[in-house]
Amino acid sequence: MVDTTSLLTPSDCALLLIDHQAGLAFAVESIDRQTLLNNTAALARTAVVFGLPIVVST
């Protein structure tokens, strides 16, 4: 039996950020807007550290 499990690598994944516009943050009410901004920025910085490609869609 062949073990096909492996960890994700930057060459086979990417970070996709969809609709992260300043105006749309006001529609979010399940989390504080500043927390949402901080979490998104931290996620993007982490992706940069790991060398992941980042795709931003607006």
Reading the chain (58 residues) residue by residue, the pLDDT tens digits are 566 667 777 788 999 988 777 677 677 778 888 888 899 899 999 999 999 999 988 7
Q: What is the pTM of this model?
A: 0.72
In a domain, 24, yes or no: yes
pLDDT at 2: 60
In a domain, 28, yes or no: yes
pLDDT at 28: 73
In a domain, 7, yes or no: no
In a domain, 3, yes or no: no
In a domain, 2, yes or no: no
In a domain, 5, yes or no: no
pLDDT at 4: 65
pLDDT at 3: 62
Q: How many structural domains is the chain composed of?
A: 1
In a domain, 26, yes or no: yes
Cβ count near 20 (within 10 Å): 15
The residue segments making up the domain with residue 40 are 12-57
